[in-house]
A and B are shown apart, each in its own frame.
Chain A
Amino acid sequence: MDRRVFMKSGAMSLVTMGLSPSFLRRTAFAGELVRGAATHGAARGKTLICLFQRGAADALNMVVPHGEKAYYTLRPNIAIPRPASTSGAAGAIDLDGFFGLHPSLAPMKPLWDQGLLAPVHAVGSPSTTRSHFDAQDYMETGTPDVKSTRDGWLNRYLALQGTCEAGCAHPSSAPFRAISMTQQTPRMLEGPSPTIAMNSLDEFSVRATGPAADRLEALYRTGTADVVHAAGGEMFEAVKILRAANPQQYQPRKGAQYPASQFGTRLRQIAQLIKSDVGVEVAFADVGGWDTHVNQGSSTGQLALRLDDFARGVAALVADLGDRMADVTIMTMSEFGRTVRQNGSGGTDHGHASALFVIGGDVHGHKVHGRWPGLEPEQLYEGRDLALTTDFRSVFSEVAAKHLGASRLDSLFPGFAAKDHWLGVL
């Protein structure tokens, strides 16, 4: 059976049962993590992996509008040559006759061919800010131009669709429900619902051996039942779950070759956790180096190197997850795009609309989504940037609703009539 058809019918049956997939996953999870008990795709629940390209990735060289004449006029030195180019430099990898991928994104081309990859173009935040900090903040809180938002949109999802929504007994039965492979909790996951942020799986253990470790646990298993003891108890459970999953022995699936970068390592550990069935519903990682003001290069150069790491990491993650991609959606994002015109230093400055990728089994792939606004002078935003035709919240909310089963979109993205703007990415 076609994977997508299977997923659709699977999701449909859940809707008719009136249950969110995440609830089902946690029910299965609560059953002492017996491997094999949760092998059915839908019952195992859904996972969303968010990858943030911090620094404003150059969308126009990532998903190249090679059918656009103005693209080549405005970027004489840094444009990616047309697919059939004979200029010597590698050309864009054609997708649909108009758009193409940067040659460094070649590892992701098979995903397009399999219908797993859906680029969205001219997408971003309606805020006019060109500050990295503010724009990232808005994208992570889900509230453009509102600085006072305290929590991240993904944490709001976790809190609203909490484990106890359907009357479960143990609200924290899935300590690894939300994980971030970062030193600090990212803004997107800040908020009341518990999350775990870590640099590396190796860190998630009590660093004492023998009796000292047991005594530490005993300290938290005795005494008053208060918030400190409760958190400690959960922690020791989580450590045990992880130990049982034995991530140290992890071997990626054959064919999954992660780059040796920090980004690659973190993606590998996300795959480890997902495949260990420790109940990951939401995972986050970020990768920097996209702020290419100077000498960004074309088919080769600075940006090409960043994209190479990015694409190899994502492709390895997808390969490693294998069949589980039926239940996983990967969504990439960057705070804004870059100027259409190259600047005097062979780079690009802060722009407006950007592009992102949605990847997964239930994605309407093999199609570049979003309305293309064009690059002629009158079509540009403020005469310099790619105009915005899709609000990032359209994509985020569609993924949250259709993939995770989020129902309270008005709380996730307050003041945004989410459903009216869906593109049909899923």
Chain B
Amino acid sequence: MKSPHGAAGDDARDPHGETLPRLLRRRAAEHGAHDFLRAKRHGVWAATSWAAALARIEALARAMIALGVQPGDVVALVGENLPEAYLVQYAALCAGAAATHLYPDASAAELGFVLENSAAVLLFAEDQEQVDKVLQLPDALAALRGVVYLDGRGLWDYDDPRLQSFERFVGGAPDDAAARAALDARIAAASDLDLAALCYTSGTTGEPKGVRLTHRHLLDNAYRLVASFGIAPHIDYFSYISPAWAAEQFIGIALGVLAPSVVHFAEKPETVPTDLREISPQFLLFTPRQWEMIASQIEAQMLDAKPLRQRLYRWAINAPANLRWLADALILRAIRDNTGLARAQIPISAGSGLSAEIFRRFHALGIPLKNLYGSTEAGLVSAHWDGDAEPSTLGRPLMVAPSVGAALELRIAADGELLVRGGAGFAGYHRNAAATAKVLDAEGWFHTGDAMHMLQSGELVFLDRVKDMRRLANGAAFPPQTIENHLRASPFVRDAIVLGDETRGFVAALINVDAGIFGRYLESRNVGWGTFAELSQLDAVLECVAREVAKVNAMLPAPSRIARFATLPKELDADDAELTRSRKLKRAVIDERYRALIDSVYAGDERCELTVSVIYQDGSVGTVRAGVRILSTDAAAVAA
């Protein structure tokens, strides 16, 4: 059991018990004329200064108070990332209320659930599409004091009295001394332990749960980034992920005020690539899927390029270190500029795992991509904020705000689960104490549900969700899919099957080597071969695979390491029913067809005479007979 500690940050921007509205007012006083929000209107980037933003936020807050929004209430928002979504949340906080955002593609039922569960009193809906959803929900509608829409298009003949436009709502805000005093009183009376946002977890199992995020929690998490990454004031941030996701609450809403940052909004989801290029943000967070899309967009553009340019590009991303400057000047800088990542100081990938290959490709392009790990409940836990960004790790624990509490403490439980405590901590699920008790123990440890391994360097490596771990005969848990993914990330490995269950004493792997890559590898070493079966058993091949396995083992805790492996004498093939047509492993078929080999692996044999039938593309059936060698790794001795 390990319990490494994070540290307290030393950045001066510690929130010191302030709430977001009080900080907001302070920032507006400090940076009044400086840009806060930037959005594209009528094809031109237009900025809202801190002073103008605060004026609008306070007008919105007074309008909310006039409508009867009370401290402790919840204001809901549904729509895309728009400057108004930020303003509304800040205004709700000023009025003493909290905000909950929904993804624009939320169904009417999901919207109904969130409105009911959060007991929202006011809904801001982006457009007709969102308004239509709430109009289908008579119960939810009855509980709302109003529905405010931002884009009136198509709503011309809607006559529900609770509907009103954003402009009319703000325009109707009282502006007298009493209204201003009431707002001042609310801002002064608020505590940083008040609820600031409710983020609903995706709810893959059962109904979504609303995670309570307090002002302290939001600001502590923003501080973790400020202090760990050393974020400079007025950094250009691109707001793209939805504020329904806790990450945007930390990185957008809270960091925007704490750093402060200049928050940019895309004109439309479809214009993101163009907008990104025009903004060229310094700080941005995308999910792995979005990074993959940017990577494939670059590849697609290079495919359209002239042959000479294509060759220059290939050379540039593989350029030796002493020629990096030349590759950078000729090619890479232009590509970074084209994708809008020329100034990206802190480009972050978070949400799930990004393949090592894509991660490395961005680094080869000179884009310092960083992994960030966190959960809605525990907040931001670790990131690549110091030292090298190793694609397979999630970096080291972040530094928390000293005024908030103890530094982050991490612990890996016996079953591999990561437990976290420290910082602002987890404030619990909204109106669901039973669910809170399941993940937050008496000692204050939050159980993440993620199985992790901690390297000697102190970096975290994600193994799997705890529920997807498999167990060995000795009870030790290991992450089969993660090990397979790590193996597959090697260019030499086309596919891998990880063996081991309650009847087996150690983890083993069957590896389908990549004939194309090894073909070139062997050619350069003047090694000849005939069939795939021969190639797979060559010394040079097995040595190379052994090195790849050792690399993967280095990423894993001892009980999960591959103790023995063999390379398959034929390629896994969908025609033989070993794979699905989308190249997913069919484990039961593989277990059956390679039974003899698997038994040999676990019997400790060094060789297995294997006979496997194959179906050729013309439908004829043949057999492959081959002697397969079985190798042991350093982990075998430990397992024994």
A binds B: no
